[in-house]
Amino acid sequence: MTDYDDTNRGALFKNTKKESDRHPDYRGSVNAGGKDYWLSAWLKTSQRGTTYMSLALTEKESVHEEGVAKAREAVGGQDSSGFNEEDGDDIPF
């Protein structure tokens, strides 16, 4: 297999799960400067009638960290094992 350097490259795919106008028309990922990002694109029309894409980048690592924080908040400060973070390494039995 050949080594492939995907630095400063990416791809967009049609969003087949779009349910509202706020959802992007295209989704994908891109590597820019050695960092990985999620890439979202919306098809828009300018005032002059020209079709263009509006883009948004979100760092993949920040999305992961936000998801972990929301999950912890949803379970009341517990980690994924179900034990409270304040309990430390103690086994509850």
Phi, psi at 26, each rounded to 5°: -135, 145
Predicted TM-score of the model (pTM): 0.65
**Average of per-residue pLDDT values in the chain:** 84
Task: Please compute the mean of the pLDDT values over residues 8-27 and round it to a whole number.
Answer: 96
At 49-64, the pLDDT tens digits run 999 999 999 999 877 7
pLDDT at 77 over 80: no
C-alpha span between 78 and 66 (Å, rounded): 15
Q: Are 65 and 58 in contact (CB under 8 A)?
A: no
What confidence category does residue 80 fall into, taking pLDDT thresholds of 50, 70 and 90? low
CB count, 10 Å around CB of 69? 10
DSSP state of 75: T
CATH architecture for segment(s) 10-79: Roll (2.30)
What confidence category does residue 24 fall into, taking pLDDT thresholds of 50, 70 and 90? very high
Q: Where are the domains of the chain?
A: 10-79
C-alpha span between 82 and 93 (Å, rounded): 13
